[in-house]
Amino acid sequence: MKVIAFSYNIDDSEKAMLGKVSYFLSAFRTMQKMEPFSFKLTIDGTVIQDKAVMILVGNGRYIATNELPYEKSSLQDGLAEIYLIKNTNISLLKDVLTLTTSNSDENLSSQLQLFQGKKIMIETDESMDIDLDGEVYLSTPSTIEMLPGHFEVLVP
């Protein structure tokens, strides 16, 4: 996905000085240059064909240490959250930054769509690299399948 460009665009001196803020700066710089790409997304058998600048698939309410404002997101439900970012502009950035868990369900922007599913297949016209938590070793087409209870995790 285009998300890979965020990882490649991080300035090491910025990262050392600013920590996780450097990821937001990288994202902002990168998003200004991104062009939408065509994709076919199959979520539990439902097909979505469209264009986006980024497809983000996650599980849970956090990206790194940043809480996402989607109240229904849970590690326990066996569902991944799929965020489609259709366009990048200041209006979308403002919408995302002002979302809270109390208003996120009703106020997702038309440029930001959210889906949930157990089996997700991502296809693009041209093969695109996929960033998995900062590591790049997959590319499209790719299938993601949630495996509830697959790992035992100890928590405090």
Show the domains of the chain with their CATH numbers. Answer: 36-144 (2.60.200.40)
Annotated catalytic residue 123: no
pLDDT tens-place string over residues 3-28: 444 555 556 666 566 565 566 666 66
Q: What is the pLDDT of residues 42-71, one digit of tens each?
A: 999 999 999 998 888 888 777 666 666 667
Of 146, 131, 142, nearest to 40 by C-alpha is 142
- How many whole angstroms separate alpha carbon 68 and alpha carbon 140? 25
Catalytic residue of the set 35, 106, 126, 135: 135
Both tokens of 147, joined, read 């495996």
Residue type, 122: I
User: Distances from the Cα of 6 to the Cαs of 60, 107, 151, in angstroms?
Assistant: 21, 26, 29
